[in-house]
Structure 1
């Protein structure tokens, strides 16, 4: 079982990468760094909360897990 603290750190790591990628894509599509950063920033909270719930849900599902001795 993974700790909540580990899940939160993974969320921050994942979202950091996401902000960079979303900013680049936003800039390429709009030509505006301000718009790109606004677009990327607006998704952080929703995506972070969704990721934490997704991880916690999958921790409860035993399918695909192996037993460690």
Structure 2
């Protein structure tokens, strides 16, 4: 939920700046709320079950980087398609998607690291990994 708020605000601002229309920015940003929450949930479930980069101390920074990259690919394709459909202009879709590649990867990495430090929801995984 917290990432979706950060991501939606970023998408609204980028879409507004690129399209020149705040209403288009809002439509693109809010359309993404539904698609991104579903896609993000599926992405998280897959990564929860992948052991690559999991150590006895927890998840490695490399794991977080790879996870960020895979999410960004999925998220960017979703944004390009939505921005194109909503704006009616494929160039707007590509520009919004291209701009958010940079902003979202940076924002997501720091968001992920902050949540990891909170240890929220990781108890079961850590105890499971220590038993193996």
Greater relative contact order, per chain length (Cα 8 Å cut-off, separation 6+): 1
Runs of 4+ in structure 1 deviating by more than 2 angstroms, as ranges, are: 62-65
Cα deviation, residue 29, structure 1: 1.2
Q: Which residue of 1 aligns with 2:86?
A: 29
Q: CA deviation at 1:36?
A: 0.6
Q: Taking structure 1 as the reference length, what is the TM-score of the superposition?
A: 0.86
Among 73, 77, 96, the alignment partner of 1:39 is 96
Residue 56 of structure 1, CA deviation = 0.9
How many residues align? The count is 69
Question: TM-score by structure 2 length?
Answer: 0.48
Deviation at 1:62, TM superposition (A): 3.0
RMSD over aligned CA atoms reads 1.4
Distance 1:63 1:17, change over 3 A: closer
